[in-house]
Amino acid sequence: MYNIKNLNRLYDSAPTTEATYYSKLAIIELCGWIELSMDSIAEHFANKHLKTQPFKNSFQSLIENNYGFDYKRNFRKMLNQTIGLHNMEKIELKINLTGCITILDSTLDILKKLRNDAAHTYIGTTTTYQSPSVTKSQLEIVYPILKEISKEIRKVK
């Protein structure tokens, strides 16, 4: 993700007082990207498979009322409602053979706490955030798993 890479570059060249802003922004940026990516995965399926306006409206309401990027409470719940429990179970069982759903879930839990801290505090003299390079490494964990989930959902008929 270009924004995280750019924030990391800015962080590396910034004075300590400014670097904290780049760290905070990188966390918020990554979490926003994850949430939108999750919505996009579900939207792709819905756009391909839902044919009537009442069901399209139901899906739109589902997306609009889904705030967050927690794996079980947000993403899995949204996909269960969009692609069905049976399809989600098959996809998750296939993908989780390597344990990546557990990795995704735990990484998202960490990011949720970091994001909440970043979004609900101000930068003070003792405020610290992980460096953008750490945030970038979390992106590198999450991205391929979301990509794999998306790939499997695209196979659902």
pLDDT-derived band at 123 (thresholds 50, 70, 90) equals: confident
User: How far is residue 62 from each of residues 25, 65, 75, 147, 150, measured CA to CA in Å?
Assistant: 28, 5, 11, 22, 18
Q: How many domains are contained in the chain?
A: 1
- Domain of residue 64: give its range: 2-155
Burial-class residue 113 by CB neighbours within 10 Å (0-12, 13-18, 19+): exposed
pTM: 0.93
State the sign of the Cα–Cα–Cα–Cα dihedral 130, 136, 141, 145. positive
Per-residue model confidence as pLDDT tens digits over 3-15: 999 999 999 999 9
What torsion, rounded to 10 degrees, do the Cα atoms 47, 93, 151, 106 define?
Answer: 90
How far apart, in whole angstroms, are the C-alpha atoms of residue 67 and residue 82? 16
Query: CB of 47 within 8 A of CB of 55?
Result: no
Residue 152 has pLDDT above 90, yes or no: yes
pLDDT, position 126: 78
Q: At what angle do helices 53-64 and 16-49 cross, to 10 degrees?
A: 160
Residue 135 has pLDDT above 90, yes or no: yes
Higher pLDDT: 2 or 27? It is 27
Q: What is the mean pLDDT of the chain?
A: 95
Task: Read off the DSSP letter of residue 122.
Answer: -
pLDDT, position 16: 83
98-107, 119-128, 133-142: segment of lowest average pLDDT: 119-128
Residue 125 has pLDDT above 80, yes or no: no
Residue 1 has pLDDT above 80, yes or no: no
Residue 128 has pLDDT above 80, yes or no: yes
Spatial CA neighbour of 123 closest among 7, 29, 23, 27: 23
pLDDT, position 154: 96
